[in-house]
Structure 1
């Protein structure tokens, strides 16, 4: 069945999921005249409140506690991110010939004729930081913009809202891209590729292919990571508009059509009159906060997208200076007895943890949690020389411990055999015992947090609280 948004009046549409994406989708569909059924596998207090809000609109039915059954008469499914393609609901839809759109696909189709262009960002790590940097740069150029998408601001709310924008900085996850075949961004970037969410996508090839959808139909620039050839491969495979250019970013000296770093200066050899011989200074490394290598790469990717949109060099500098990172992303918490304590609880996979570990010279590493099927040998091999000691917490800590035993047997390891939230305070105390003045105690778990905490934010908060207790000399009751 082929449908367009103009065909939805009177149609029966099922929305898969509630929350930040599902509620706006249901409202938008009802506004188009569709009869809407929302299905959600969880039946909790928050879900019941959202259900009551939607059903008050009329023409919306919410089924809680049942996300598997395809409602009778469904002619289209609009899904929120996270629902696997292999879900029974989608298997039933495929058998019945019912199309599936993501909430991003719906937002893209609902854009008006004068809609602002999208500068889109994806990647295994660094998406949110890059998108927020990009928005800061665009704002510094005097443009009306917003950081939206997977960053927690629904694209549907923005597309259907009254606020006029010149351009949008859009974060897109692999889940969202999977269900958004019509998306055609002004310019797009894939920051990096590393194994993640393979249980959802089924294979690394499928995961990469979904990330690569961000380049399809790009008009001006496909931004890729010179240090990650897989991202350039995705550019080569993309079907783009005539004249669209491949733009690389690198932490080294840039070649033509690249942005990079020369003597602690971020420079542009892509959007200049003579890129064979000229380079435009954009900012200093010290303008990037924090100036860790992976964050400099984020800044270069953001700068490339902004320059593709015609932003002047001064706006890149001013935007990066104005940018403040979100909490729990290589966040310096405190110095205690000459030791720096850094919270990178957002490092929920090995790729992110590697970037974090690469940022410091001598580290006592706090790691562990839910491994999500990851292996840790490569991470340990690459970081062993930096490790002063390791404190392991969480359900899958043994996997990291085994990799340490194989590849860094001389590094002291403390294995905390507990998964309660109080384990973080014990981990910080053990890390302080292992650390020497000049070292960094780094929370970069390389794992998800849900075995011990509600989310990575709560994990980071627990780390920061434990560090502040250590600084003040307080000892928690759970010692």
Structure 2
């Protein structure tokens, strides 16, 4: 384990460690594995990758378990339970420094978690304050899993909570660990209340990421230095960065290291296909995301609309399997708000769903032009032919990996000059 620079205690809330070595030594003395658990309906994989990048910037040896599998020091392992058991053994003999585990709502609800076992737990969101979301079966399961997650943090540990999601941060269950609330502004109601009662939070102010209390706070980087958030244009990515920074700071990583890692971080299409991947195709921008119901769609669309002034929007959508039938009209309305073009594929399989989506799109004052094609591959080809300089394409991909490969080939064709 390398020696990292340590910030002054005067700049930190009293409950946070001065260094990673201090944090890890405390865990070792209590025979507690250095495992960070991260859960949420959206954004948890992105936050996990950011935390991993911060640890890698610190030259720490890591193990990561996500729905993509297990990686040790960036190398994919075969299987899951056996390599994870080995990773925990390596934490015990100090040949690994820290592990990050993605926690799935349904698994936590069904199996539970050992109480007070994780030194750090983080919850990115649940239903982003949507009543329509909270009545869904999967959301009810998540809501029942939340108390188990909150109880899984050790009494001397930290729980990092989305301070903008009332279903996550405004609950009646007592928390034995130290809560850190995260919000884009410290004037967010729950964050402001938490700070007024002496709590610790992470927020942005004057284009700076900060963590602390009412009395004292320290910088964690600059919003304009975040390339994955298009230098502050994509608010939910700034929030993801704040979540990751708060988690890393809870493990003793200094703010300077966090800032350097976030400034270098890139959204890897290979590791996170369909996680708001932003690509340039010539002078146009293409964003590849996963289909989600309207209550989650509003968040990335705010980022899309922020980029839109002066740009034409081309939206590509297909089966939208994650969207319930009774949400298709609202989803269509949201996708059609900016006009432009809406390229639909796969409409022959469930024509009644396509009709609902079109009904929603047509409800806008200036509805989009709707184009039907057969397959997702054909939809991408059609959109690429339509793209003009300064256009913006938003792809809700059924097969994100395939879409990203097609777009990467398009990038290569543009970069490679045609021989005479």
Hey, what does 1:22 align to over in structure 2? Answer: none
Hey, what does 1:424 align to over in structure 2? Answer: 377
User: What is the CA-CA distance between 1:300 and the residue it aligns to?
Assistant: 0.8
- What are the superposed Cα offsets for residues 157-179 of structure 1, whole Å, 9 maximum, x if unpaired? 23334533332222112133222
The unaligned stretches of length 5 or more in structure 1 are 1-112, 270-274, 450-454, 475-479
**Cα pair 2:153 2:159 within 8 Å, conserved:** yes
Q: Distance in 2 between matches of 1:141 and 1:210?
A: 33
Establish whether residue 266 from structure 1 lines up as the match of residue 209 from structure 2: yes
Higher relative contact order (CA 8 A, sep 6+): 2
Establish whether residue 302 from structure 1 lines up as the match of residue 244 from structure 2: yes
Establish whether residue 229 from structure 1 lines up as the match of residue 179 from structure 2: no
**Cα pair 2:314 2:341 within 8 Å, conserved:** yes
TM-score, normalized by length of structure 2? 0.69
Hey, what does 1:247 align to over in structure 2? Answer: 180
1:7-86 equivalent positions in 2, closer than 5 A: none
The alignment partner of 2:56 has SS state of: helix
Hey, what does 2:5 align to over in structure 1? Answer: none
Q: Distance in 2 between matches of 1:308 and 1:222?
A: 9
Question: In structure 2, do the counterparts of structure 1 residues 238 and 307 end up closer, same or farther at CA, with 3 Å as the change threshold?
Answer: farther
1:67-216 equivalent positions in 2, closer than 5 A: 114-153=31-70, 154=80, 156-161=82-87, 163=90, 164=94, 165-178=96-109, 179-182=111-114, 184-194=117-127, 202=137, 204-216=139-151
Q: Distance in 1 between matches of 2:165 and 2:336?
A: 22
User: What is the CA-CA distance between 1:405 and the residue it aligns to?
Assistant: 2.1
- What are the superposed Cα offsets for residues 59-110 of structure 1, whole Å, 9 maximum, x if unpaired? xxxxxxxxxxxxxxxxxxxxxxxxxxxxxxxxxxxxxxxxxxxxxxxxxxxx
Establish whether residue 386 from structure 1 lines up as the match of residue 318 from structure 2: no
1:276 to 214, 228, 234: 214
The range that moved more, 400-409 or 463-472, is 463-472
The unaligned stretches of length 5 or more in structure 2 are 1-29, 71-79
**Cα pair 1:223 1:246 within 8 Å, conserved:** yes
**Cα pair 1:288 1:320 within 8 Å, conserved:** yes
The alignment partner of 2:303 has SS state of: coil
**Cα pair 1:138 1:145 within 8 Å, conserved:** yes
Establish whether residue 331 from structure 1 lines up as the match of residue 273 from structure 2: no
Hey, what does 1:26 align to over in structure 2? Answer: none
The alignment partner of 2:118 has SS state of: coil
Establish whether residue 443 from structure 1 lines up as the match of residue 379 from structure 2: no
TM-score, normalized by length of structure 1? 0.61
Question: In structure 2, do the counterparts of structure 1 residues 156 and 230 end up closer, same or farther at CA, with 3 Å as the change threshold?
Answer: farther
Q: Distance in 2 between matches of 1:141 and 1:356?
A: 30
Q: Which has the larger radius of gyration?
A: 1
The alignment partner of 2:266 has SS state of: coil
Question: In structure 2, do the counterparts of structure 1 residues 407 and 221 end up closer, same or farther at CA, with 3 Å as the change threshold?
Answer: farther
User: What is the CA-CA distance between 1:140 and the residue it aligns to?
Assistant: 2.9
Q: Distance in 2 between matches of 1:460 and 1:404?
A: 26
Establish whether residue 414 from structure 1 lines up as the match of residue 371 from structure 2: yes
User: What is the CA-CA distance between 1:458 and the residue it aligns to?
Assistant: 2.4
Question: In structure 2, do the counterparts of structure 1 residues 408 and 171 end up closer, same or farther at CA, with 3 Å as the change threshold?
Answer: farther
User: What is the CA-CA distance between 1:131 and the residue it aligns to?
Assistant: 0.6
Establish whether residue 365 from structure 1 lines up as the match of residue 365 from structure 2: no
Question: In structure 2, do the counterparts of structure 1 residues 186 and 408 end up closer, same or farther at CA, with 3 Å as the change threshold?
Answer: farther
In the comparison of the two structures, how many residue pairs are matched? 336
Question: In structure 2, do the counterparts of structure 1 residues 264 and 463 end up closer, same or farther at CA, with 3 Å as the change threshold?
Answer: same
Q: Distance in 1 between matches of 2:341 and 2:32?
A: 53
Question: In structure 2, do the counterparts of structure 1 residues 226 and 160 end up closer, same or farther at CA, with 3 Å as the change threshold?
Answer: same
Q: Distance in 1 between matches of 2:416 and 2:394?
A: 19
- What are the superposed Cα offsets for residues 427-476 of structure 1, whole Å, 9 maximum, x if unpaired? 4424653x55422112134xxx2xxxxx43224324544566688899xx
**Cα pair 1:117 1:186 within 8 Å, conserved:** yes
**Cα pair 2:163 2:181 within 8 Å, conserved:** yes
Q: Distance in 1 between matches of 2:383 and 2:400?
A: 21
The alignment partner of 1:410 has SS state of: coil
Question: In structure 2, do the counterparts of structure 1 residues 431 and 311 end up closer, same or farther at CA, with 3 Å as the change threshold?
Answer: same
Q: Distance in 2 between matches of 1:150 and 1:214?
A: 18
